[in-house]
């Protein structure tokens, strides 16, 4: 019965023209991204996987330049117990960037992306909670790259 329901739902979804969102090609023929930061390396890997945009080794050779303005990871206490022990943290990952050419045109003006996750905390499981925090930051990093990719794909090139 369950298999029949899955087949029925799949037929309905495909019949209405639904498609999973796929990666959109970037409007740039070439792009420069500095390699000296971790997220930049992941972003470069994603762009290479698309295959439609060349990654330049020097900004002078690129149609567009991705400039990192700033990046920060923050941890803020959200709640404490009656005894003053931390119960929840909010983890934040901020990234500010712009995409431009060397002639002064802005393809993406200065933009900031802020992602946040709430994490519970327990003194008895400090090592496990540290590992969980690392996983949350890695998850936010992947989300950040996907958001940047969507913004790059939506950039407008005139002239």
Q: Write down the pLDDT at residue 16.
A: 60
Architecture of domain 23-154: 2-Layer Sandwich (3.30)
User: pLDDT tens digits for 54-108?
Assistant: 999 999 999 999 999 999 999 898 888 888 788 888 899 999 999 999 998 999 9
**Cβ-based neighbours of 157, under 8 Å, separated by 6 or more:** 27, 28, 63, 64, 107
Domain boundaries, the chain: 23-154
Q: Are 130 and 80 in contact (CB under 8 A)?
A: no
Q: Are 91 and 72 in contact (CB under 8 A)?
A: no
Q: Write down the pLDDT at residue 25.
A: 85
Q: Write down the pLDDT at residue 127.
A: 76
pLDDT confidence bin for 2, thresholds 50/70/90 = low
User: pLDDT tens digits for 121-147?
Assistant: 777 776 777 888 889 899 999 999 999
pLDDT confidence bin for 20, thresholds 50/70/90 = very low
Helix, strand, coil percent values for the chain (each to nearest 5): 40, 35, 30
| H or E element in which residue 31 lies | strand 30-33
**C-alpha closest to that of 149 among 60, 63, 58, 40:** 40
Q: Are 98 and 109 in contact (CB under 8 A)?
A: yes
């Amino acid at each position: 019965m369950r298999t029949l329901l899955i087949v029925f739902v799949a037929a309905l979804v495909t019949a209405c023209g639904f498609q999973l969102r796929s990666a959109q090609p970037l409007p740039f023929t070439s792009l420069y991204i500095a390699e000296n930061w971790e997220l930049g390396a992941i972003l470069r890997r994603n762009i290479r996987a698309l295959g439609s945009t060349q990654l330049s080794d020097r900004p002078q050779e690129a149609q567009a330049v991705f400039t990192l303005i700033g990046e920060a990871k923050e941890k803020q206490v959200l709640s404490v117990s009656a005894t003053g022990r931390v119960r929840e943290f909010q983890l934040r990952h901020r990234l500010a960037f712009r995409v431009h050419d060397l002639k002064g045109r802005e393809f993406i003006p200065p933009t900031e992306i802020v992602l946040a996750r709430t994490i519970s905390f327990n003194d008895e499981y400090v090592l496990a909670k540290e590992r969980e925090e690392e996983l949350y930051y890695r998850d936010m990093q992947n989300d950040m790259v996907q958001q940047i990719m969507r913004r790059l794909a939506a950039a407008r090139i005139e002239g």
